[in-house]
Amino acid sequence: MSTLTTNHTINTLYGEISSALAENFKQIKLLVCDVDGVFSDGRIYLGDDAEELKAFHTKDGFGIKALIASGVEVAIITGRKSNIVYDRMRALNVNHIIQGQEDKLPALKTIAKKRHLSFEQIAYIGDDIPDLACINYAGVGVAVKDAHPSIIQQADYITHINGGFGAVRELCDTIMQCQNTLANATGASI
């Protein structure tokens, strides 16, 4: 982790954060993510045969795998249902995959209860109004750079990168940097 500067900020790979936020990131044991607009750019591609396609960034994949290897669990909660999402998350070793959940906070609380985690141990990243309750509940609420303005206003941390283009990787790196585990991140992009 970088050194504390005189104005009580920490230098991360993506810029300065307050030392208080860095302390909150140190407590994180579970990262919960929305999918559309976070792992993807929010666009949904539909083929002539109603086939649904999404684009995922390999940087985010590496970040998730590295974060899990560092000891932080990962979950996704999304309002849509998609085999693509299930397959992608399983390939990243994400064990908590909840789809078709429009009211996300009850699902988040259920995961936290099963894992015996307090809200301070949870980070949540989202991009739009359905994520607001989870962002407000989590110990660290995160908005992607191109999130809806109401989400940005409520977030504790706003990524420097847009959703679908490495915002999840930025968050994973920042958590690991604050927890002093980033130097151990190895593996292949996926």
Domains of the chain: 27-184 (3.40.50.1000)
End-to-end CA distance of the chain: 26
Per the DSSP assignment, residues forming a β-bridge with 73 are 30
> What length does the chain have?
190
Element spanning 73, H or E: strand 73-77
CB 142 within 8 A of CB 125: yes
Residues 168, 169, 173: CA angle, nearest 5 degrees: 120
Residues 119, 187, 170, 14, Cα dihedral to 10°: 120
> Could you list the pLDDT tens digit for every one of the 190 residues in the chain?
444 444 599 999 999 999 999 999 999 999 999 999 999 998 888 888 878 888 999 999 999 999 999 999 999 999 999 999 999 999 999 999 999 999 999 999 999 999 999 999 999 999 999 999 999 999 999 999 999 999 999 999 999 999 999 999 999 999 999 999 999 887 677 7
Q: What does pTM read for this prediction? A: 0.93
Question: CA 93 to CA 1: how far, in whole Å?
Answer: 26
State residue 54's pLDDT score. Answer: 87
Question: CA 78 to CA 44: how far, in whole Å?
Answer: 14
Question: CA 127 to CA 139: how far, in whole Å?
Answer: 17
CB 123 within 8 A of CB 134: no
